[in-house]
Amino acid sequence: MTREIGTDEFRETLHSLRVWDGPLPGFDAGQAPEEPLALFREWFTHAARAGQAEPHTMSLATVDGDGRPDVRTLMLHDADERGWHFASHATSAKGRQLAGQPEAALGFYWPAVARQVRIRGRVTACGPEESRADLAVRSRGALAAALTGHQSEVLGSAEELTQASTAAWERAGAEPDAPAPTWTRYVLDPAEVEFFQGDAARRHVRLRYRRTADGSWVRELLWP
């Protein structure tokens, strides 16, 4: 049974929390590369080696048909010259929102090193072959989840999910190349990428890359 937490206990816990108590890495923005991908890969690898749990998890923000923002956490599948890659069902809430408004934002937060990366840009849905290949290299559990389907739909009961999931796991084991037609790989082509390095004295370093009309990148320091 869930214990009810009162307002005072909640606030006491909230206000007792601290961030960045240990030593933090430095960041010389003047030495940053000309394009953001190289710096992202460097920061991502550094965070993973520093012990950051699940550094490949990120927030994806979209908007629905009424202009209301939506956000969720999912996994990064790649980052290359095309952009930042992720995947989902085209029939999910995020898939429908991206179909209606293909502009989105990504957010990474690595508290172990007090770093954040924010990315904004246009999202493109990949074709069936690339989307299928995305699923083929993932685990049996990922395939089972894709085969279960119905993402973001109303669920009638926990038992209904158990039955569908069990069947999907069995199929994923017996048919590792089973098709999941709505599974789609997406690529966010960045227009802006911001790197944030936290500082214990609150003199945070914020470096923004902004793409110009000719495709080149402009680097700008921002006030924290």
Is residue 101's pLDDT more than 90?
yes
16 Cβ neighbours under 8 A, 6+ residues apart: none
pLDDT above 80: residue 89: yes
Higher pLDDT: 2 or 65? It is 65
This prediction has a pTM of 0.90
Type and span of the H or E element at 159: helix 158-174
Average pLDDT over residues 79-86: 98
What tens digit of pLDDT does each residue of 141-175 get?
Answer: 777 878 887 777 888 898 888 888 888 888 888 77
Which pLDDT belongs to residue 11? 96
Query: What number is the average pLDDT over the span 203-214?
Result: 97
213 close to 166: Cβ distance less than 8 angstroms: no
Determine the Cα–Cα distance for residues 215 and 145; give it in Å rounded to an integer.
38
Name the token pair of 135.
């699923």
* pLDDT score, position 22: 80
For the segment 43-55, what is each residue's pLDDT rounded down to a tens digit? 999 999 999 999 9
